[in-house]
A and B are shown apart, each in its own frame.
Chain A
Amino acid sequence: MNNRASEVTPSSKTPLLWIILGAAGMFLAHYLVFIYAPMESTMRAAQRIFYFHLPSAWLCYIGFIMCAGWSLRYLMTQKSEHDALALASAEVGLTFGVIVLTTGPLWARAAWGVWWKWEPRLTTMAILFLIFTCYWVIRSFGGDNSGTRRFGAVLAVLGAPNIFFVHIAVTRWRGDHPNNVGLEPEMRVVLYSCLLIFIIIFSLLVRLRYRVHMDERTAIALSRRLSRIGG
């Protein structure tokens, strides 16, 4: 009982500083994107999507890679913490994935005139998103038992490196990269500030989700103990 209780303590502090940083950062990001950043000549306002789109894409990938890493760790150690971290990373990764897949077509519509293009990064992101949606669905509906956890972990571990192949395959198939326009210094400032702010929000979310999962598990463990005493 004691060791279970102590598992809760380190995460129970509310990361107030991070929440304030994240919230303030979000306001700052909006200011930077909509007011500070100079208007791009060809794409006009639609180009501003890019400042949220790109950091989200990076963090989505990072979330999924973290999920695969923690899953591998979980398969080896069978530790509940590692599984909770994997699940939390996947969930936050998916959240950023939703941002990417919403902003992406909007930008594509403005830039290419179509909502969707079979372009390597887009396709890779879509497949990766699909795989981790499956992961999340299975984790949500499969019941929280070790079988489901392990199944999810294997899915994540096999799924993440898969992306490498999808990317190469689509690159070879449709070598149609979006033109890497040279960014003006101000644009660069906005992009990297947004990235930093998104990183803060990302790590905050992962931490909070992890805590929720661990608290849930502690609650279940405690209620089990109670039923044991009572029964």
Chain B
Amino acid sequence: MSPFWRCFMAILEKDVKIELRSKETVATVVLFGVVLTFLFAFGFIGDPQTNLAVIPGILWAALLLSGALSIGRTFAREQENSAFTALALSPTPRSAILAAKVIVNIVMILGVMLVITPLIAVLMHVDLSGHVVGLSSLITLSAIGFALVGTPLSIMAVGARFPEVLLPMVVFPLVTPVMICGVRGSAALLGTSVDLNYMAWAQMILAFDIMIGLGAFFLFDWMVSE
């Protein structure tokens, strides 16, 4: 096994083990997502047509907000006892750290969305059962995009001893394309918007993911040299 895969698997295994044991991050992030869902539901509940129209916005806002929390939490774990220093001092390829953390964050965001999406459908009296495939592909692509932007920046923020509150401020503008495409795509799916097929929007998120992914992995070695 190449060093990349060996370290990638080791970090992934370690994170999963810690999460299964403490369940701290999952619990925090999912609970946060649920609270958000209720807040949005209180704020936007109306007649059936309005509900259908606002659901995409709620879903993607929830995705971004709980994603930001998830990324913050996964790094809080590394910063406890400065364990990240030990990781940085080991001969681990930097890209393996990034890849493992991106995967962890994607799984985390998808986990939250798995809870939130049905909940929002129930609270807003909307039947989403006919759009499972479309919605999940849009959400998955968005989660990948968000994790690809947020993870390298948060790793760098750890190194730069950066106030963590600045992170969402930086990440959210960068993921605007994901937000627009996700919301428009699911609106197309639910039939509240007639501009384009949802596939076209999904393709755009995919293109965004690929571009950011290439950029992040290409640059990452330069990002954390200290």
Q: Which A residues are closer than 8 A to B by beta carbons?
A: 75-76, 127, 130-131, 134, 137-138, 142, 145-148, 150-151, 154-155, 157-159, 161-162, 165-166, 168-170, 172-173, 175
Task: Give the interface segment out of B16-24, B33-41, B150-158.
Answer: B150-158
Tell me if B207 is interfacial: C-beta within 8 Å of chain A: yes
- B219 in contact with A173 (CB, 8 Å): no
Instruction: Give the contacting residue for B226; candidates A130, A147, A158, A173; CB below 8 A.
Output: A147
Given contacts A157-B219, A170-B180, A172-B184, is CB(A147)–CB(B156) below 8 Å? yes
* B173 interface hit (Cβ, 8 Å): yes
Cross-chain contact B156 with A151 (CB below 8 angstroms): yes
Assuming the contacts A138-B166, A158-B174, A159-B174, asked whether A165 and B160 have C-beta atoms less than 8 A apart, the reply is no
> Is there contact, CB below 8 Å, between B223 and A150?
yes
Do A157 and B174 touch across chains, with their CB atoms under 8 A apart? no
Given A148-B160, A165-B204, are A131 and B180 neighbors across the interface (CB < 8 Å)? Answer: no
Task: Please indicate the chain B residues that have their CB under 8 angstroms from the CB of A130 in the complex.
Answer: 173
Residue of A with least CB distance to B216: A158
Question: What mask results when residues 172 to 183 of chain B are scored 1 for a CB within 8 Å of chain A, else 0?
Answer: 011011001100
Interface majority SS (helix, strand, loop, mixed), chain A: helix
B103 at the binding interface (Cβ < 8 Å): no
**A125 CB to closest chain B CB, in angstroms?**
12
State whether the Cβ of B114 lies closer than 8 Å to any Cβ in chain A.
no
Decide: A151 near B177, CB < 8 A? Known: A134-B170, A142-B162, A157-B219.
Answer: no
Give the complex CA separation of A72 and B75 in angstroms. Answer: 26
User: Quick check: A147 and B159 within 8 Å, CB to CB?
Assistant: yes
- Most chain A C-beta atoms within 10 Å of own C-beta, residue among B149, B170, B215, B226: B170
A127 to B180, CA, bound (A): 12
A169 touches B177 (CB 8 A): yes
Partner of A75, one of B169, B170, B207, B223: B223
Q: How far is the CA of A39 from the CA of B226 in the complex (A)?
A: 59
Least Cβ–Cβ distance between A14 and chain B, in angstroms: 35
User: Which secondary structure dominates chain B's binding surface?
Assistant: helix
CB distance from A157 to the nearest CB of B (A): 6
Residue in contact with A151 in the complex, picked from B162, B181, B196, B211, CB distance below 8 Å:
B162
CB neighbours (8 Å) of B184 from chain A are 169, 172-173
Chain B residues, CB < 8 A from A159: 173-174
A134 vs B68: C-alpha distance in the bound complex, in angstroms? 16
Q: CA of A166 to CA of B211 in the docked complex: distance in angstroms?
A: 13
Given A147-B156, A161-B211: A131 in contact with B173 (beta carbons within 8 A): yes
Residues from 119 to 139 in B contacting A, C-beta threshold 8 Å: none
| Contact in complex: B173, A134 (CB < 8 Å) | yes
Q: Is A127 a contact partner of B173 (Cβ separation < 8 A)?
A: yes
- Closest B residue to A127 by beta carbon equals B176
9 interchain pairs, CB-CB under 8 A? A130-B173, A147-B160, A150-B223, A154-B219, A162-B177, A165-B181, A165-B207, A165-B211, A169-B177
- A173→B183 CA distance, assembly (Å): 10
Cα–Cα, bound, A134→B166 (Å):
9
Q: How far is the CA of A90 from the CA of B200 in the complex (A)?
A: 33
Please tell me which one of the listed residues A142, A166, A168 contacts residue B160 in the complex, with CB atoms under 8 A apart.
Answer: A142
- Which residues in A have their C-beta under 8 angstroms from that of B201? 172
Taken together as a complex, chains A and B put the C-alpha atoms of A75 and B170 apart, in Å, by 19
| Nearest CB of A to B47, in Å | 24
Which B residues are in CB contact (< 8 Å) with A172? 184, 195-196, 200-201, 204
Bound form: Cα–Cα A159–B166 in Å: 16
B166: chain A residues within 8 A (beta carbon): 137-138, 142
A150–B157 alpha-carbon span in the complex (Å):
10
B173:A150 contact, CB within 8 angstroms? no
A75-B223, A76-B222, A158-B174 known; A150+B215 contact, CB < 8 A: no
Contacts beyond the supplied A150-B160, A159-B173: 8 A-B pairs with Cβ under 8 Å: A127-B173, A151-B153, A154-B152, A158-B174, A166-B177, A170-B180, A172-B201, A173-B180
Contact present for B173 and A161 (CB under 8 Å): no
The answer to the question of B31 belonging to the interface, with a C-beta cut-off of 8 Å to chain A, is: no
CB-CB nearest in chain B for A170: B180
